[in-house]
Structure 1
Amino acid sequence: MIESASLARPFLSTKLNPPSTTATQVLRNAIRELVRTSSAVKLILVRAPAGFGKTTAMVQCRDLLAQHQVDTAWMTLDGADNDASRFLACLAAAVGGMTAERGGTKSDIIADSSRAPGDVALEIMARLAAHPAPFALFLDDFEAVQEPTVLRLVREILDNLPRRGQLVIGSRGLPDLGLGRLRARGQLLEIDAVQLRFSLSETTEFLTQRRQLALPEEDLSQLQRKTEGWIAALWLASVALERREERSAFISRFSGSNEAVAGYLAEDVLARQPPAIRDFLLKTSILRHLNASLCDALMPGTDSAAVLHQLEQANLFLTPIEGQEHTYRYHSLFAGFLRAQLERELPDEMLRLHRAASQWYEVQGRPVPAIDHAIEGGNYAHAAELLNEHAESLLESGRMRLLSRWFAAMPEEQTRASELLQVIHVWALCFTRGPREAMALLERSGCSTSADPKILAHVLALRPMMLAIMDRTEEAYAVGHEALLQLPVSDAFTGSVLSNEMAYICAVMGDYQESHKLLDAARHRQDSDTSFFNKMYSESVEGLIDLEEGQLRQATARFRIAVSATHSVSYRHTGGNAWAGVLYASSLYEMNDLDQAEHLLHVYVPLAKDVGLADHMIIGYTMLSRLAFHRGDVDQAFHCLTELEYLGHHRQLPRVVSSAKLERARMLTIQANFQAAREELDRSNTQEVWQEVARLRLPAHDVEYHALAELRWQVFSGDAGHALSSLQAAIHAAMSQRRYRRALKLRVLHSIAQKQVGEERAALATMKDVLKTAGSEGFVRLLVDESDRAATLVRRVEEELRNESRSGDPIFSVYLQKLLQAFGPAAMAEPEASTTTEATGMVEPLTNKEVRILGLLAEGYSNSALAEKLFVSDSTVRTHLRNINGKLNAQNRTQAVAVARRLGMIR
C-alpha cells in the first residue's frame, strides 16, 4: 500500500538525506578508497554493531563517490518500512530525486495511493536500469527491516541492478539478501566491525585534534585498548573527559564493554547536567523527532527552542535532521538510556508525556504518531477513541500491518466496547496472521449478531473472503450468495469487496455469466476515482476464462491491462496487482519470455503469498521452480517446491501441499527418476483435494492435476499403451467442457504416447495438429515443459515441412524455429536414434567423479550449476564433460546420459 499523501515533505527529507557531517569526524580514508575502487561489485555491506560509525563511513563514501561523478541516493530505514508499500514509496522518492538531479528536471516516480506496490517496484527497477550514469543507492539502518516481502523486493532490485549501479547497505546484522551467491561471484564487498574500528592513529586524531583533549600517549593507548576502537565508546568517553581534571584516573577505571559503556557514560554525563537540562533530556526522550513546538507541548513553560540550541551547541548527543530546520533526534544509544532512566525515575510522567505528544500530533493532523504515542503511554482509552475516528480510512488504505500492530498492543477490553474496532481488527488479522485466527476473533466478538447495519455489512463481506482464502471455495460460494442478498446497497467498501470476490469465486465454480454480472455490479458501486481496481479484477477473471479456452494472446493482453490498471486500489488487502501480476507472469512464461516472467514473479509472488491465495501461490512457486530447473539450478528448483509445501502446511491448505508434491513428481518424471516420481505421486494423491479440483475450475490446475500427472508418468516410464485410451477420454472431456488449453496439453502427451508404442505416423500427425493450434496462440512452454520427448516430435515435424516441395506457411515456420530454440539442446539430438550407433561398451572406465557428474547431468544441472555444486570452475566442468563423451563414445551430453542409462551406470 502506497500513500504518498501521508509521507509529508519534512518526513521524506528526514529519510532521504544523510546526517550532516561535523567537524569532530575523522576521515575514514581507507574505507573511502576501498569503496571508490570497488565499482565492479553489486553490493557493499557495511555491517557492525551499534556505535561503530557505519553511518558516518557511508556518508563519507557517498561524498567521495559524488566527487568522482557517481550519482547517489540515500534512504534511512525504520521499523515502519516493513510495510512493503511504505518502503517502496520512500525508495521511489529517493530514486526519483537522484534521476531528477541527473536530468535537471523534476522526475518523480509516482508512488501514491493510486498505484500498487508491484507497479512501483518495477518502475524503480526500470528507472535504475535506464539511469545514464554510474550510481550508488545507500540504505542505512537496514536491520530495521525484517519483513520477507520487503527483503525479497530489495533482493530483486539488487539482482536487476545495471553494471554501473551499486547498493550500499548499512546494517547491524546480516540481511537475508542471498549474500552467499553474491560472495561466490565476487559481487559483494563486506566492511565489518574490524575495518570500522578506529586504529590507534585515528583514535589519537579524534581525541586530540577533533575533540581537542590533551592526553598523554599512554592514556591514548590505554583508551584505545579498552574500547578496541569502538567509536561510540570513544565519543562518550570524550564527553566525560571534557569536564574532568583527573583524566588518567578516569581512563584507568574505564570499562569498555559494549552497551555497558553507553549506560555508564551516559549516566555519568547526565548526572553532570544542570537540573533543567537533565529534566528536559529525560522528558523529551520519548520523542523520535524533536522540535521546539512539540517539546513545549510536553514541558509547558520551557523555552524549548533555547534549550535545543544549547544542546546543539554543546554537541550533547543531539543530531540535526537535515532538511528540517530546528528539528533534531537523539543519538539512539543515548535516547535508549534516557528512556530507561525516565521509567525508573519518573514512571508517573510517562502517561502525561505520551498524552501530550499524542495531542500535539492530533492537532497537526497526524493520527498515526498520535495513536502510537497514546498506546506507548498506556493511554489505551484515548488510543481507542482515535482508532474509532480513523480506523476505517486506514482500513480502506490497506494499512493492515499497522492496524494489526496496534490491536496486538492494546488490551482486548479497550476494543471490546466498539463493534467497529472489533470488525476492523478481524480485517487486519485476516491479512497479517491469516483467516483462521480472524475467523476465531469474529466468532468471539459477537459482531455477527450486531444490530448495526454497517457492522453486519463488514461481517457479510468478511465471511466469504476468509473462506476463499482458506481454500473452501464451495462454502464461500454459498455464503457469498447469501451475503449479496443481505448486503446494504449504500456501503461501497464492503459491497465492492464482496462483489469482486464473488466474481472470482463464480468463475472458479464455472458460472461465468454470474461472474460477469457481479463484476458489473462492483463497477456500479464505485465512483470513477476508484474504478481502476474493478478494471483489474474484471480483466483478470476474463483473462482466466480466455486462458482455459486456449486463447493465450487475448488472455495475455487482459492480464497486461490488469497489471497496469490499478491506479487507485483502496482494497490492497486482496493483493492489488499481485493478484493480476502472477497471472500475467504465467502467460509470459507460457510464451517463453522467461526473463520478464521471472522478473515479475520475484516482485509479485511474495505479495501474493502474504495474501494467502492458494492458486496464486501454486502458480507462482511452480513457475519459479521450473525457471530454476530451466537454468540448470536443480537445487533451487526443489527448494521452491519445499517452500511451497511448507506454506501449505503453515496455512493449513492441503491443496497447496499436494500441488508442491505433484510438481516435484513431474520434475522427477522429466529426470527419468521414475521410482522416486511414483512415490511422490502417491504421496500427492490426497483424494479429497483432487475430487475438489475435478469439480472446480481452479486456475492452478487447468493443465496440472493428479490424473494428468499419472498419465504423464505412464507415458514416460514405458506404459504408454495403457495410457492411450485414458488420454483419448480425457481429451474428449476437456473439449466438451471448452477447456481447450487442457486438451492441448493432453494431446501433446497423446502424441508422445503414440510414438512410444510405435505409431510413428499417427504421432507426427497428432503433433502437427497440436503445433498448428499452439502456434496460432503462441504456446511454447506447454510443449517445452514435456522435455526431449516432445522435442523429438517437434523436430521431426519441422524436418518434414522443410523437406516438402511447397514453401508452406512462413509464420508457422518461424514459430517452429522459436519452439526448437526454446527446447535447446534437446531439440538437436535424439537419444533413441543415437543408440543404434552407440558402442556396446565403454572406451574407457569412468571415474567415480565422472559417474557423479553424469548423474547430475541426468537430473538437469547446467554447467554453471555443476561448477557451483562441485566447487570447481566452469572450464573444469567442460573438461570433465569432454572426457565423459570420449569414454562413452557420445557426441553430446544427451547421448552420454542415454548411454550411461543403457549401461546401468545411472538411473
Structure 2
Amino acid sequence: MDTIVPTLPRSTEGLSQSASRGEGPPTSMRFLESLKVKVMPPTAGGVQIPREALCDKICASPAKVVLVRAPAGFGKTSLLTQSFRMLEARGVTSAWLTLDRSDNDTSRFHHNLTKAVARLGVDARVDPISALASWQGPFALFLDDLETVYEPAVLGWLREVIDQLPHGCRVVIGSRNLPALGLARLRARGQLCEIDTEDLRFDLRETDKFFGQRSAIRLSIDMLDQLRRKTEGWIAGLWLASMALERSHDAADFIERFSGADIGVADYLAEDVLASQPEDVRDFLLRTSILRQLDASTCQAICPRVDCEQMLERLDAMNLFITPLAGKTRAWRYHSLFADFLRTQLVRERPDDVMRLNLAASGWYESQGRVVQAIDHAIEGGDFPQAVYLLDKYAEPYLEQGRMRMLARWFAALPPALLDAHPFLQVMALWAICFTQGPWVAMQQLETSRCIASDDPGVRANVAALRPLLLAMQDRYEEALEAGRVAMAALPTGKPFADSLLLNVTANVLATLGEEHEAQRLLDEARREQGSSAFNRMYIESSEGLLDLYGGRMRQATARFQLAVDATRQTSYPHSHGNAWAGVLFACTLYEADKLEQADRLLNVYLPLARDIGLPDHMIMTHVARSRIAFVSGDVESALLLLTELEYVGHLRQLPRVVASAKLERARVLLLQGNSAASLDELRRANDEAVWGRERDQRLPAHDLEYYALAKLRWELTFGDVHSALPLIAREMAAAESAQRYRRLLKLRLLHAIGLQRAGDLGAAVKEADTVLRTASEEGFVRLILEEGPAVAPLIQCYDALSREQAGALRNPILSEYVQRLLKVLGPAPEVGNSGLQEPLTRSEIRVLQLLAGGDSNSAIANKLFVSDSTVRTHLRNINVKLGAHSRTQAVATARRLGIIR
C-alpha cells in the first residue's frame, strides 16, 4: 500500500495534456476516455509511502460509511486508492467514481454511477440504488472528491444509496468538506468511520521515508523533524519543500526560512484553494489571517459586518485548512503554512489594511485582559507607544514567570531609541537577553545602557542582581562573588524578584567555590524572598538539586530538577518547554537513570537553547550526554560530530574549559573503542592546566564526574600500569570524601574496584563493588556504572557469581534487581579464544572487528572492504552472537581480551 504525493492542482487531474488543450480525438471519444478515468482509481506513480494502518482501518471497519476528510494535499485520494487495492486483494469487489462539478447534473451523475457500479457485475442501468441494495455479498463503493457535488438532488441520491446498503457493504468517501449526507445520524448509530486531517498528517518516520525516496539530498533527523513541524505533516507541503530543496545550496537555511510565503506553496494554495472560494469567504480569510486564534468574538472585532460565528462554522464544514482547538469555547487556527500564505497575500493585495486590522485586534484583546495578544498586535501594527505602555505594566510579571523568549522577542521589535527612554524596560530587556542570547551580549549592552546611572531604585536593584549573574555565567566566579557580596549589603531593596535572584546567584557561586553551608543559608533566605516568581523558584530548586547531586542524593536531585522545570513550564507538553537552566539538569538525571530515549528527546530541545545562551556547564552537559546516547545506540559518527561541535563552540566563545571538555570526552570514546594511542594523545591535548587546576578548587556541574585526573586514571586502568594507578585513585577518593563529594566518590570507588580486580585482588574488588552497587541501587545511579563499558562487566559478573554462592547475600530485592538490570545491559562475556569459541569468527568478521576497533563507521568499513552496508550489518550481528556481545564496544573489548585482535 502506498501514498502517492499529489503533483497536480485539481484543474488538471485526470485529463491528458491533449484533452486539456482541446486537442486529440473527437468529443464523444474524449468523453468515453474521461469517463474511464472517472470510474477507475488513479494509477500509482511518483513517490509512494506505505500507510497500511489507515488502509486497514478503512478495510476492517464495519461502518456503512467511511469518510476521509481533509484539506487539499493531504493524500486523501492516495489513501482511497490504497484501500481500494487492499480490499480487492482481500477478495472484496469494489467500485470507484471520481466526482467533479459536472456530476451536479442528476442525469449525468446517474449515468456515471451506473458505469461505476457495473464493475461490481451489477446491471444498474435502470436503478443503481435498487441494484446495489439487492447485491449479495460484500462490496465497497469509493466516491472521491465529493466536495465538488452540492446539488441537493444528487446528495439525496447518495443518502438513499447509503440507507439501502446491504449488510457488510460500505461507501468510502474522500472529501475536503463535510458532505450533507445525514452523517450525524450515522455517527450516532455507530455506522460512520471518520479519518481526518490529524490521521493523515505524515509523522517523522513517514517524512523520513518520503525524503529518502523523493530527494537526493540527505537531511538529518532534526532537520526532517523541523520541516515536518513547519508543514504540520501536510504531504503536499513536504512535496513542495522537497522540490525547492533540490534547488537550494543550503538545506538548513532553506528549512529555517521555509513558510507559506514560499513561491511553490503560495502558487499551490493560490490556484487550488483561495481562487475557488466565494468573495465573502476570501475576504474573511485574508482579514483574519493576522490572528493566531480564531473565535467568533475576536473575528467580530476585525470583521464587524460579518456573522463571524456562522462564517467559522462554514469554514469548519469546508475543512479549509482550519484546525479546531481544544477548550470550552469554539475556536480554531489556520494551518501554519496556510496562515503564512494568507498574510503574504494580505500584504500584497491590501497593504493599508495590515496596520488597521492589527490595531483593532490589539484594542480588542486589551479590553478583554489578554495582554500577550494585545502587545503582539500592537507591535505588528506599528503602534510602539501602545506596546511600551503595556510592557511598562506587565514586563516584570512576565519576567517573574520566566517568559524570557517572549520578552526578548518583544523588546527586539521595539525601536532602540524608544527603549533607551525607558530605563526600567531596558533592564527588563537585559534579563531577557541574558537568558536567550547569553551573558556576553547582555553584559555588553548593560555597560553601554542608561541603566547603570539610573536613579530609579527598581532599576538599580535589578542591575545589582544582574551583574554577578552575568559574571558567573561567563565562568568568572571570583568576580561574581565579589559583586554579589557588595550588592547584598543593600538588601532588601523592596524588589522581591531582584533580591531573591541576587541571593540565588550568590548562593550558586558560593556552592561552586566549595562554601556549601553558606550557600545553603542564602538559598533558604532566597526562598523567603522569592514571592510569586516562578523563575526564582526554578533557580532555587536547581541550585539545591545540584547540592543534592554533589552529595550523591540522586533521587532527591531528580525531584528538585523536575520541580524546577515545572515551575516555568508554559504548555502541556511534559518537561519540554521549561527553562533551559533547569531543563538540562533534569534531562541529565534522566540520562543517569538510563532513561535514554526520554533524556535524548529533552536534550534535543534544550541543546540549541544551551548553545545560544552559552553557559559552559550546560553546553558541556548537553553535548556530552547526547554524544553518549548516540554512542550507546551505535551511532559513533553522530557521537563524534557532537563533540566536534562542542569544541567549535568553545573556540568561538573563547571558553577553554568547553574546548578541553570536548577533547576529554573524545578520549573516552577512543578508549571505549580500544584505541589506546589515540585516546592517550587526545588526553594530552585536553590537559590544559589552567582549566583543570581551577577545576580542583571549584564544584562545576559538568566536571563532578568527568575531569582530567579521573580520565587519566581510567586510561591507566585500561591500558597502563594498574598497580601504580591504584594509590592515585585512593588519593582522589580521600579528597572527594573530605569535600563531601559523594557522587564523585562513588565513581572513584567503582574505578578502584575495577583496578583491584585487574590487579588480582578479587576479594577487595568485590567488597568495594558491594559498597558502590548498594549505594547506586538505592539512589538510582545507572549510567555511572554502565559508562565504564566492557571494563566493568567482569566486575559485576564476578560480584553476582560470588554473591550467589554466599547464602543470603542478595536478600535485598532492590539490589538484586539492580544487579540483574546491569547484567542484562552488559551481557555475558565468553572466556575462550577464537579457536575455542563454539563458532569461531571468520576471516571477514575479524577484519570487520579490526576496522571497528580503529573507529570506522559502518559505511567506512563497507567502503574499505568493497561490500554493502547491509553486509557489514550482517557481519556485526554474527560477531555479537559469537562473542556474546550486546554492543560494538563490548565486541571490540571482548575480542581484545581473547587475543582475536590487538
Q: Give TM-score, length-normalised by structure 2.
A: 0.62
* Aligned residues with identical type, % of pairs: 39
1:633 matched to which residue of 2?
A: 635
Q: Which blocks of at least 5 consecutive residues in structure 1 are unaligned?
A: 1-21, 43-52, 69-103, 105-132, 143-153, 160-172, 198-225, 243-268
Q: Shift in Å at residue 741 of structure 1?
A: 2.9
Higher relative contact order (CA 8 A, sep 6+): 1
Q: Any idea what the Cα deviations from partners look like across 1:481-532, whole Å, max 9, x if unmatched?
A: 22222244421121222223333222222222222222222222244xx377
1:510 matched to which residue of 2?
A: 514
Residue 56 of structure 1 pairs with residue 116 of structure 2: no
Indicate conservation of the 8 Å contact 2:201/2:233, yes or no: no
Residue 697 of structure 1 pairs with residue 693 of structure 2: no
2:490 matched to which residue of 1?
A: 486
Indicate conservation of the 8 Å contact 2:402/2:534, yes or no: no
Name the aligned partner's letter for residue 509 of structure 1. L
How is 1:41-190 mapped onto 2 (pairs within 5 angstroms)? Answer: 55-58=71-74, 138=198, 177-178=221-222
2:852 matched to which residue of 1?
A: 856
How is 1:279-428 mapped onto 2 (pairs within 5 angstroms)? Answer: 303=305, 333=341, 335-343=343-351, 355=359, 358-428=362-432
Indicate conservation of the 8 Å contact 1:282/1:341, yes or no: no
Indicate conservation of the 8 Å contact 2:451/2:460, yes or no: yes
Cα distance change on mapping 1:813 and 1:829 into 2, 3 Å: farther
Indicate conservation of the 8 Å contact 1:618/1:659, yes or no: yes
Q: Shift in Å at residue 877 of structure 1?
A: 3.3
Name the aligned partner's letter for residue 876 of structure 1. T
In 2: Cα distance, 1:378 partner to 1:579 partner: 34
In 1: Cα distance, 2:309 partner to 2:809 partner: 84
Indicate conservation of the 8 Å contact 1:850/1:880, yes or no: no
2:481 matched to which residue of 1?
A: 477
1:557 matched to which residue of 2?
A: 556
Indicate conservation of the 8 Å contact 1:569/1:576, yes or no: yes
Cα distance change on mapping 1:447 and 1:613 into 2, 3 Å: same
Q: Which blocks of at least 5 consecutive residues in structure 2 are unaligned?
A: 1-9, 15-37, 58-68, 88-186, 188-192, 209-216, 242-263
Indicate conservation of the 8 Å contact 1:460/1:487, yes or no: no
Q: Shift in Å at residue 661 of structure 1?
A: 1.8
Residue 645 of structure 1 pairs with residue 705 of structure 2: no
Indicate conservation of the 8 Å contact 2:846/2:901, yes or no: no
Q: Any idea what the Cα deviations from partners look like across 1:442-478, whole Å, max 9, x if unmatched?
A: 1111211211000011111211222222232232222
Indicate conservation of the 8 Å contact 2:810/2:816, yes or no: no
Aligned-residue CA RMSD (Å): 6.0
Q: Shift in Å at residue 701 of structure 1?
A: 1.4
Cα distance change on mapping 1:641 and 1:174 into 2, 3 Å: closer
> Which deviates more from structure 2 when the two are superposed, residues 772-781 or residues 689-698?
772-781
The one of 847, 869, 874 aligned to 1:871: 869
Q: Any idea what the Cα deviations from partners look like across 1:827-869, whole Å, max 9, x if unmatched?
A: 6226xx635x8579x989724x751344326759899x999x9
Cα distance change on mapping 1:870 and 1:134 into 2, 3 Å: farther
How is 1:200-239 mapped onto 2 (pairs within 5 angstroms)? Answer: 230=268, 232-233=270-271
Residue 618 of structure 1 pairs with residue 634 of structure 2: no
Indicate conservation of the 8 Å contact 1:155/1:178, yes or no: no
In 2: Cα distance, 1:375 partner to 1:891 partner: 57
In 1: Cα distance, 2:622 partner to 2:366 partner: 43
Name the aligned partner's letter for residue 559 of structure 1. T
How is 1:838-857 mapped onto 2 (pairs within 5 angstroms)? Answer: 846-847=843-844, 851-856=847-852
Indicate conservation of the 8 Å contact 1:533/1:566, yes or no: no
The one of 451, 454, 462 aligned to 2:458: 454
Indicate conservation of the 8 Å contact 2:293/2:332, yes or no: yes
Aligned length: 697
1:810 matched to which residue of 2?
A: 810
Indicate conservation of the 8 Å contact 1:374/1:383, yes or no: yes
Cα distance change on mapping 1:378 and 1:535 into 2, 3 Å: closer
Helix, strand or coil: the match of 2:870? Answer: coil
Cα distance change on mapping 1:140 and 1:407 into 2, 3 Å: farther
Q: Shift in Å at residue 418 of structure 1?
A: 0.7
In 1: Cα distance, 2:523 partner to 2:576 partner: 15
1:463 matched to which residue of 2?
A: 467
How is 1:705-854 mapped onto 2 (pairs within 5 angstroms)? Answer: 705-759=707-761, 762-764=764-766, 766-768=768-770, 770-771=772-773, 774=776, 777=779, 779-804=781-806, 807-811=807-811, 815=815, 818-819=818-819, 821-824=821-824, 828-829=828-829, 834=832, 846-847=843-844, 851-854=847-850
Name the aligned partner's letter for residue 336 of structure 1. T
Name the aligned partner's letter for residue 738 of structure 1. Q
Cα distance change on mapping 1:387 and 1:508 into 2, 3 Å: same
Q: Give TM-score, length-normalised by structure 1.
A: 0.62
In 2: Cα distance, 1:182 partner to 1:576 partner: 20
Indicate conservation of the 8 Å contact 1:829/1:894, yes or no: no
Indicate conservation of the 8 Å contact 1:711/1:727, yes or no: yes
Name the aligned partner's letter for residue 674 of structure 2. A
Indicate conservation of the 8 Å contact 2:504/2:522, yes or no: yes
1:213 matched to which residue of 2?
A: none
Cα distance change on mapping 1:584 and 1:135 into 2, 3 Å: farther
Indicate conservation of the 8 Å contact 1:625/1:641, yes or no: yes
In 1: Cα distance, 2:526 partner to 2:662 partner: 34
Helix, strand or coil: the match of 1:834? Answer: coil
Helix, strand or coil: the match of 2:198? Answer: strand
Q: Any idea what the Cα deviations from partners look like across 1:610-630, whole Å, max 9, x if unmatched?
A: 654433343343333333333
Cα distance change on mapping 1:810 and 1:448 into 2, 3 Å: same
Helix, strand or coil: the match of 1:696? Answer: coil
In 2: Cα distance, 1:307 partner to 1:726 partner: 76
